[in-house]
Amino acid sequence: MNYYIVTEEVFNTLTKENISFMHKSIDRSKRIIITSDTVSTNLNEFANPTALSEYTFTNNSDWVGDGTGVTEEEIEETIYIPELDD
């Protein structure tokens, strides 16, 4: 799997069936995704869920706004359902 942060515009071009996790930034301009696809137009790329989670804790004001971050468990266990995306 591949771990990325992409813009909203890039996200809208991706094959949703290949995305297993998605989390929107607070301002909704960026998305954290896990996908089986390779996304060359990403903002950030991470080697694994641990690195991605650590990034969200360091940059928590973009992702959760409460001084924490997106945990590794959330990244690995939350399933993205395209039909519920607003």
pLDDT band at 82 (very low <50, low <70, confident <90, very high): confident
Distance CA 21, CA 13 (A): 16
Helix, strand, coil % in the chain, rounded to nearest 5: 35, 25, 40
Residue 54 has pLDDT above 70, yes or no: yes
Q: What domain range includes position 16? A: 2-84
pTM: 0.90
- In single-letter form, the type of residue at position 60 comes to N
How many domains in the chain?
1
Task: Report the mean per-residue pLDDT for the chain.
Answer: 93
